[in-house]
Every structure is written in C-alpha cells, then in structure tokens.
Amino acid sequence: MSDIEASIFFFKWSKTALDTYTSTIKSNYFKLLVEHCTKARANDEESSKMFDIDELGADPRVVKDDREDIKRRLKDAQKQIYLKEEIVKTKKPVSLGELATLYRLKTLLKMCEKLIEIMARMVKWMDENKALLRKFSESIKIFPFCRKMFEAVCAVGEIFQLKSIEWQSCKYAKMLDPSKTDYSCKLNAELQILEAKVYCPQFMTMVNYFRTVVYIMGCSFTGMLETIFLKISHERCEIRSREINSILKLLPPQFLFTKDYAKLSRRTSMLLEIPPKNERSFPMVSERPILDASSTRKSSKSKSKKDSHKSESKKSKKRIKSQKTSQKSGHEKRRCFREE
C-alpha cells in the first residue's frame, strides 16, 4: 500500500471536508451570531429575488413595472412583520465577549477559505504529477503531514458538533489507527444564543479550539510542501509555503483563561494539547507588582536610612583622614624642633 496514494487520498478528502465544514459553520454559527450582534436580517432581499423576467414570458417593460411594485410591497410587508416581532420579543443585549468571538470566528473562516483555495491548486498539481511523486516515494514522506491535516479537519466537526466524517470504512482506514472512541455524529448542531454569560464561555472555548486546528492545518500543509521540495525542484510546483505562512499570520489571538468543556475524543484532545501562543501578550493587573502605602513607606524609610548611613560613613572617613593629617603635621613639627 503506497504512502503517496494514501497521502493524495486524504489530502483531497481534507479539502472537500474543510469546504463543507466551513460553509456549515457559516450558516449554523456565524450567520446567527452576526444577526444577533448587528440586529440585521440576512434574508431581507431573498423574497424579491424569486421573480425572473425570462420565466414570466410577457412584455419585459410590463413585467419590470410589476416586479418593482411587488418588490416594494414585499419590503413593506417584511418591515411590518419585523416591527411586530421586535415589539413582542425582548431584545438581548450584546456583550463585548460576543463581539470578540464574532471577530475571531470571522477571521478563522476567512483563513479556511484561503487555505481551501490553495489546497484546490495542490490537488490539481498532485493529480498531474503522480508519476513524479511515486518516483520519489521512498525519500518523500508526506503521509504524516497529510494524516495530521486530515485529523485536524475531522476535529473541526467534533468541536462544532457537526456531522462526522465516516472515514473508518475507507480503504486506507488502517493507516489512521481507528478507535472506538473516535467522534461520530449524524446531525449538524447550531448556535443557541442565550444570555451571554450562559453560552459565551463554552463558545469562546470552541473558537479557541478552532483556532488551534486551523493553525495545525496550515503548519501541516507547509511541512508537506517543504518535504516535497527536498527532492522536487521549486520550479515544478507553483505553490509556495510563503502563501500559507501569510495566511497563518492572520491567526487571531486566543481567549485567555477559558475552561475546557465536554469530553472530546482522544484523537482530537491530542491535537489540542499545545495551542499556538499569542504573538503579543500583556500581563494582567494581578501579575504586576503592586506597592501599597505601607510598602512604599518602608522602602522610603529604608532608603533614607541607607542614605544616612552613607553620609555618616563619609563623615567618619573625613574625620579619620583629618586626624591622620594632624598627627602627621605634629610629628613633623617635633622633628624640626629637635633638629634645631
């Protein structure tokens, strides 16, 4: 069983699965959070797009006029419905934690989309250069990177409680060491927005986990490329590791002091053991040395004592020096008298 064949197989699957998971997270989590934080409806214009001039088969000018009228009426009706809903429903306030989570989730989804674009180009290159990869199969060991990348994509589904990837029945399943504890789910969960203090802590942890696996995907992709370029010239492949590194630079900062939640599978837990550190970190107020009034008084007293000791020692040195000089001058005077 060729490692190269398995690597290509799992890399392709990683690209497809990541694309599916990204779109599902956008619809089941990100969209709901945007609507909550901005109080905007994403489907205001959907009803007006249902009418097509070509399908109605009448005079285009008349249809256009009718269509504009229908658009206007639908908008008015939609506004009235929303106003009634807003009167009945109580508005939930938006917290800073929710806005921070929205920013991080948006950034991570953008990173995934950019990674998917590069992965699609890599899949095409792999298909066109299978013979070249087989030729150097003994020296190019890219399977560990492809495996880790695939496991990171599978972890995305577990983190957001989405439909699992059923890889246990594929032809290369044994190479991933299947276990009974591996994540399995047949439904896609979605974000349940309650009070911020109720759902935000867990959701922040989920975003932290997502950040870690996105970073692992990028690093694994870079490692795979660098391994290929050990034997194959850069000129044979247009994809560069700097493209992936530029994506990884977009990595948002992690939330600090979050708590782990739920029981994740052993495979996913191992991936999340060492999250990437923030590029810049600032010490909390509690970590800084705080001096109270008593300590400042003590320090000032000790400083004054030290200064007084220093001045006294200087004075005593001067006295000793003056005594020595006076003694020396007295001896010289006596000597002079004796000589006379």
pLDDT at 54 over 90: no
Q: Which residue has the tokens 């699957």?
A: 13
What is the C-alpha separation between 84 and 324, in angstroms, rounded? 102
Distance (Å) of CA 19 to CA 8, 47, 206, 331:
17, 27, 19, 102
Co-location of 27 and 68 in the same domain: no
78, 47 contact by CB (below 8 A): yes
Q: Is the pLDDT of residue 58 over 70?
A: no
Q: What is the pTM of this model?
A: 0.70
Residues 196 and 262 in one domain: yes
Q: How confident is the model at residue 236 (pLDDT cuts 50, 70, 90)?
A: confident
> Does residue 317 lie in a domain region?
no
Q: List the helix and strand counts (H, then E) for the chain.
A: 11, 0
Which helix (H) or strand (E) segment holds residue 22: the answer is helix 3-25
pLDDT in tens, 146-174: 999 999 999 999 999 999 999 998 999 99
131-149 pLDDT, tens per residue?
889 888 888 899 999 999 9
Q: What is the pLDDT at residue 263?
A: 84
* Domain ranges, residue 64: 40-90
Q: How confident is residue 314, by pLDDT bands cut at 50, 70 and 90?
A: low
Q: How many domains does the chain have?
A: 2
Question: What pLDDT is attached to residue 57?
Answer: 39
Taking the C-alpha atoms of residue 54 and residue 273, their distance in angstroms, rounded to an integer, is: 57
276 and 147 inside one domain: yes
Res 151: pLDDT: 97
Same domain for 239 and 132: yes
Residue 340 reports pLDDT greater than 50 = no
Q: 34 and 63: one domain?
A: no
pLDDT in tens, 81-108: 655 555 445 567 889 999 999 999 999 9
Does 316 fall in a domain? no
pLDDT of 304 over the 60 cut:
no
Q: Are residues 12 and 138 in the same domain?
A: yes
Percent of the chain with pLDDT over 70: 66
